[in-house]
Each structure stands twice: as C-alpha cells, then as structure tokens.
Structure 1
Amino acid sequence: MDLQQMRYVLAVAETASFTRAAERCHVVQSALSHQVARLEKELGARLFERTSRRVRLTAAGEAFLPAARQALDAAERARAEVAAATGEVRGTLTVGAIPTVTAVDLPAVLRDYRRRYPQVRISLRAGSSDQLVERVREGRLDAAFIGVPPGFRTQGVHDRELAHGRHVAVVAPDHPLAAHREVDLRLLADEVFVDFAEGSAARAQSDQAFAAAGLRREVAFEVSGVELMSRMVRQGLGVALLPASFAAELHGLRSVPITDGPVRVERLVRNRSTPTPAAAAFLALLGADD
C-alpha cells in the first residue's frame, strides 16, 4: 500500500468515475485502475462496486476512506513541517467563508498571504455558518469566517469575535419603504420576505429578532445565496434583511436602517489541534495566532 494508491482511491470516490479520477490525477485510466485493483488485492476486499452506469464505494471502501484521508493529510503535513524547519512555509491552506463576510477583506488577505507564501496552495470554500463550523471541527478546513446570532455557541473549535453589527432592510428602489429614513420590526412584519433556509444560522438572526418582539412574518422565498436573494428583491418579490456592511455593496437596491433590527456577530473559527505551518502563517497574518 502506498500514498499514490490512496490518492487514486480518493479521486475515484470523489468523482464516482475511474475516467474522471484518471483525468484529475493526470494518468491513463488503465494505470489508475490497475493500482486500485492491486490495493484491493492487498486488502482482501473490494473498495468499489463497478457497473456500466456508476461506481460507488462498498462498505469496505467507506471504512477505508477516512483512514486514507488521514494518511494523506499526515504525509502532506510531514512535508510542510520539514519545509517549515528550513524556513519555508508550504503545504495547503483551506479556508471557509460565508458569502456575506465583511469583518475582513478576504480577497485582500488571501492576496497578501499568497505574496508572502507562494509555495502554499490555497483553497477557499463557501458555505453556511453551521456547515463551516462542522468542517473546521472535522479538520476539513483550517479556518472559517462565520456570521451568527449573538447567543450562538460553537463546540469543538476555537473561535474569536471579529465584528458585530445590525441588519438593515434591503428593498427595491421603487418599494414604499425605500423612502423611509428608518423602520422598525413592527412595520416590516407586514412585508413578504426573501431569506435563507429555515434553521440556518443566517436565518436565525432575523427569526430571533421577530420572535423577541412578539411578531410573526412571512418568508415566502427561501434561497441559498445572496446573489439570488438580491435579484429577487430587485424584482420586488420581497424584502431581505442583511448586514449593513454587506448591503452597502449591493448595487441597485436601497438599504433602510432598522431601529430594533437583528444583530450579527462575525467570528473566526479554527480547529483545536495544532495548526499546520500554512495555517499558522495565515492566523498570524490575521493577528489571530494566540
């Protein structure tokens, strides 16, 4: 068993195809298939069920995959630690972020990081705050930027507060509320809303604010991203509640302050284990390496 065989298995599992896995690994399919078959023979179990239509993991394959990922991660970290001992930061940095992060200028931070550490491969993954916390806890992300209600509690990760601020009502330019200098939740309760999925951290901030005020509202449209949300608001389909700092960047829409609006806290979360050299350098750049 060697690391390359593990990489091939991982590629097949993630693409559900020997052909696409070979393309990802830059080898001919016959060579990849041969190495997977050799590994299966050594393990005494088939890792994949192969049919003319699909490829999927067997129970043995499901059991093998987590350990294979750990072995590959350990090998990658060993190389990075050796490089760090000689004064060079290299390896992989995987960062997660919600689409509405504003506490840091993430593109600028990643630009500066790449200039300082050109040997590090950087990956950025988007997701909801709940998803990102889970991925950090599992070790699939080195760090993540999330936005949550003030009472949100993270578990199994380190976190620090970066910023907090109120939401504003985001409306179309011709919406009646666009002419208001400010509004309150009671006035907004009569509107139709475009919001994130029920139960998500992004939605909870608004739901909790209305509940605390003893008000009910109608969320007619649930979306997964702010791009679609802003398009629907622009078409007059509803009102959205978004962080003021983020809403200011939306073109063609009006932001109206809310006197008793929801509050969002932006946090940086990271795994509790010792960070890799690449992750440690990123945290140091943010001033979050304590």
Structure 2
Amino acid sequence: MELRQLEYFVAVVEEASFTKAAARLHVAQPGVSAQIRRLERKLGQELLDRSGRLVRVTEVGAAVLPYARAALAAITDTRLVVDELTGLVRGHVAVGMVPSCGGFSLPALLAGFHEEHPSVEITLSEANSEELVHSLRAGRLDAAFIALSGGDVPVGLATHVMVDEPLVATVSPGDPLATRGTITLDDIRDRALISLPPGTGMRKSLDAACAEAGLTPRISFEAGNPGILAELASRGLGVAILPQSLVRSHPARLCAIPFSYPELRGQVALGWRVDGPVSPAARAFVDRVRSTTRQPDTVGAGTV
C-alpha cells in the first residue's frame, strides 16, 4: 500500500470525480484510476462506486476513508516537524483569488515571495469568495484573497485587509445621474443595475444594503469581471456598482456617484485558516503579505 494511493483515494472521494481529483493533484486521470485500482486489489474490496455520474464511496471505502486521512495527516505533520526544526521553507503554497482582486499588485506579491523562497512551489486559482472560503476550510487552499462584506469575517478564518474602499454607482457621462454629487439606493430603485454575481463580496454588500432599505435591486447584467461591468456602464446600459478606484482609472468614460446612505464599501482581504496545521511555507507567505500593510488581523465570527 502506497501513500500516493491513499492520497488519490481521498482526493477522488472529496471531489466525487476522477477528473477533478486528477486536476487537483496535477496528475493524469488514468494514473489516478490505475493507482486506486491497485489499492482496491490489495485490499480485496472496491472502495468506490463508479456506476453513476458522480463517483461515490462504497461502505468499505467509507470505513477506510478516516484511516487514509489520518495516515496522510501523520505524514504531513512529520514533515512539518522536521521543517520547523531545521528552519527550512519549502513545499507548496496554494493561493486563491477573487476575480475583482484590485487595489494592489498580486503578481508583485507572488514574485517577491518566490524570490525569497525559490524552493516553494506556488499555485494560484480563481473563484468567487464563497468558493474560496469553502476551499480554505477544507484545506484545499492555504491562503486566499477574498472579498468581504461589511467587515463580516467567515467563521474559522483569520483575515488581513488589503483594500478597503467605497463602492459607487457608476454611469456613462451622458447619464442623468452623472451630474449628481451623491445618490441613495432609492434613486436607482427602477434602474437597470450591473453587478457581480451572487457569491461575491460586492454583491453581498449591495444585496444587504437593498434589503435594509426595503427594496429589491433590478439586476439586469451580471459578470464576474469588473472590467466588463465598467464597459457595460460606459455604454449606457445601466448603473454599475463598482469600487471607486476602478472608476477613477477611467475618468473620460465613467462617472462615479457616491452613496450618501447607506454607504457601501468593498474590502479585499487575505484569508487563512485559524485552526489546523499550517506549513512553514504557508506561514511565510501569509507573514509576507501581512507585512505589506499595517492593518490589524481579524478572526472570523460571521459567514460568507
């Protein structure tokens, strides 16, 4: 029985898919299937039910799963102890990011960390905040740049705010609202709104503010890329809700109108797990990012 066979088995169970498990492990799918078949032959029992669209664990597989996880955790802990005692920073750091990760240079942060720790492999993936939070809690990510709503930090995570700025109503220069100094949510009650999709921090801020004001936002356009939202607004297709810094970078094409009440704010923060083993490489990455700003860390008591 080999450790990689246990690792592949756990990954397939967690992903409910050979394809997704192979992508997560950065190996070819046939290799994953072959290794798990060898594990099943050694144990004399099938661990996975492959008959449906999703791969499911069998009764025997469910009994084996906690022992497989414990074995992998023991190996990880052993490596962590050795690295701690020798002062080595090596291994792998899995980082996540939201699409609207603006206000600072993530490539510069990653490049700076790589220069300091060339033996550490860094991987980067993109998803919305809800998905990133789930991946952090599940241990699939070591750290992630997530969008927060109203300072609401997810349970089980600690965060370090990187960007905190107003969200503004954004229109084309010819829009009737373009000459306004400030507006309220009621002023755009009947307007077509352009917003990030549900599961994002900015959308949660908008939805929460509208709920408090007793109105239902009329979302006509959704896109995960803030640049697309800005382009839609510049062409007069509606009112986009965007970070103030993004709008100010296009002064000839976009007009930003602050909300007088309630104030909408957008935050991007680095998040990491409070509990559970954290590798020296992951800790080194978090420490480097935290050193770039003087904001205090926050431990989560809310949800995303």
TM band (smaller chain): 0.7 to 0.9
Aligned partners of 1:270 and 1:112: how far apart in 2? 19
> Which runs of 5 or more structure 2 residues have no equivalent in the other structure?
298-304
Give CA deviations for 1:140-166 in whole Å, capped at 9, x if unaligned: 221222222225242122234444221
Q: Which moved more, 1:69-78 or 1:89-98?
A: 69-78
- Quote the Cα distance in structure 2 between the aligned partners of 1:186 and 1:272: 40
Which residue is equivalent to 2:125? 125
Task: Give the equivalent residue in structure 1 for 2:57.
Answer: 58
Q: The residue matched to 2:101 in structure 1 has which SS? A: coil
Please give the per-residue CA displacement for 1:162-187, whole angstroms capped at 9, x wherever unaligned.
44221112234544434555444333
The Cα of 1:194 is off from its aligned counterpart by 1.8
In structure 1, the residue corresponding to 2:155 is in which secondary structure? coil
Q: Distance in 2 between matches of 1:185 and 1:203?
A: 14
Counterpart of 1:168 in structure 2 is: 168
Q: Which of 262, 265, 270 does residue 263 from structure 1 map onto?
A: 265
CA distance in 1, matches of 2:221, 2:32: 46
TM-score when normalising by structure 1: 0.78
Specify whether residues 153 and 12 from structure 1 end up closer, same or farther in structure 2 by C-alpha distance, changes over 3 A only. Answer: closer
Conserved in 2, the CA contact under 8 Å of 1:48 and 1:55? Answer: no
Gap runs ≥5 in structure 1: none
1:285 is matched with 288
Conserved 8 A contact 1:17-1:55: no
SS at structure 2 position matched to 1:166 = strand
Residue 217 of structure 2 aligns with which residue?
Answer: 217
The residue type equivalent to 1:156 in the other structure is G
**Distance in 1 (alpha carbons) for counterparts of 2:145 and 2:66:** 25
TM-superposed CA distance for 1:49, in Å, is 3.9
Aligned residues: 285
1:186 and 2:186 correspond: yes
Q: Which residue of 1 aligns with 2:75?
A: 75
- Give the Cα–Cα distance (whole angstroms) in 2 for the partners of residues 205 and 9 of structure 1: 39
**CA spacing shift, 1:194–1:65, aligned 2, 3 Å:** farther
Give 1:222 deviation, angstroms: 3.4
What letter is aligned with 1:284?
Answer: D
Shift in Å, 1:9: 3.7
Assess, with a 3 A threshold, how the Cα gap between structure 1 residues 70 and 101 changes in structure 2: closer, same or farther.
Answer: farther
- Whether the 8 Å CA contact 2:95–2:125 is kept in 1: the answer is yes
**By how many angstroms is 1:242 displaced?**
1.5
Pairs within 5 Å for 1:110-121: 110-121=110-121
TM-score of the superposed pair, with normalisation by structure 2: 0.75
After superposition, give the CA deviation of every residue in 1:63-105 in whole Å (9 maximum; x if it has no partner): 6567646644653564455345434311111122222233542
Q: How far apart are the structure 2 equivalents of 1:96 and 1:138? A: 13
One-letter amino acid of the structure 2 residue matched with residue 125 of structure 1? S
Task: Give the distance between the partners of 1:95 and 1:24, measured in 2 at CA.
Answer: 15
Spell out, residue by residue over 1:220-255, the C-alpha distance to the aligned partner (whole angstroms, 9 max, x if none).
Answer: 233344354344434433221112124445698414
Residue type of the alignment partner of 2:280: P
The AA in structure 1 aligned to 2:130 is D
Offset at residue 200 of structure 1 (A): 4.9
Greater mean alpha carbon deviation, residues 39-48 or residues 168-177? 168-177
Alpha-carbon distance between aligned partners in 2 of 1:200 and 1:33, rounded to the nearest angstrom: 35
